[in-house]
Amino acid sequence: MMLTAEQMIAAQKANIETIFGLTQKAFEGVEKLVELNVQATKAALSESANSTQALLSVKDAQELLTLQASLMQPLAEKTVAYSRHLYDIAQGTTAEFGKAAEAQASDTQKKFMAVVDNASKNAPAGSETAVAVMKQAVSAATNAVESVQKAVKQATEMAEANFNTVTTSAVNASKSVAKKR
């Protein structure tokens, strides 16, 4: 089966649209990251000024220890919140790329199956076995790709669950340390 000029132009146009769409998503992710960092920097500067003022007003060692303990828990919580936002931005951008890759793979698979079906219809007599083997190979490859996609999704879900567990533990640990002081 030969591709016509219109089919090649349509395929090229679809590929260019996909590339520009993914580029737009990548820039959106970078914009979100820059915005997060600007907000975090502003908050850190403001908190540094407040902390410095509080440190300058300390009168004795006990008051210094109390002030230090009171500053640690919010810092840990803010660090966890920052990490969570960073993770969400990365995950959202990665998910968009994953969707695009899955759609592209599915489209390519459909087109390839159409070529195989067309070839089987126009195949000479006696080539049924070769056509069946080709279809079986395509089916096996499709199943393998689907298995990999499922494994990646499961690994991602497990990593996210582990991340949530670690962040919860970190916050709880900082709270318990702050309470002891």
Distances (CA, A) of 163 to 33, 80, 84, 146, 169: 19, 10, 9, 26, 10
Q: Residue 115 and residue 109: Cα distance in Å, rounded?
A: 10
Is the pLDDT reported for residue 3 higher than 80? no
Q: Residue 29 and residue 32: Cα distance in Å, rounded?
A: 5
Instruction: Write down the H helix ranges in 57-127.
Output: 61-121
46 vs 68, more confident: 46
Please state the pTM of the whole predicted model: 0.62
Q: Looking at residue 2, what is its pLDDT?
A: 57
Is the pLDDT reported for residue 1 higher than 60? no
Domain boundaries, the chain: 13-117+127-180
Per residue in 13-66, pLDDT (tens digit) is 888 888 888 899 899 999 999 999 999 999 999 998 998 998 889 899 888 888
Is the pLDDT reported for residue 178 higher than 60? no
Q: Residue 94 and residue 80: Cα distance in Å, rounded?
A: 21
Distances (CA, A) of 141 to 105, 119, 133: 12, 19, 12
Give the count of beta carbons closer than 10 Å to the beta carbon of residue 93: 19
For the ranges 6-10, 14-18, 114-118, 138-142, the lowest mean pLDDT is seen at 114-118
Q: Residue 54 and residue 51: Cα distance in Å, rounded?
A: 5
Is the pLDDT reported for residue 181 higher than 60? no
Q: Looking at residue 179, what is its pLDDT?
A: 63
Is the pLDDT reported for residue 109 higher than 70? yes
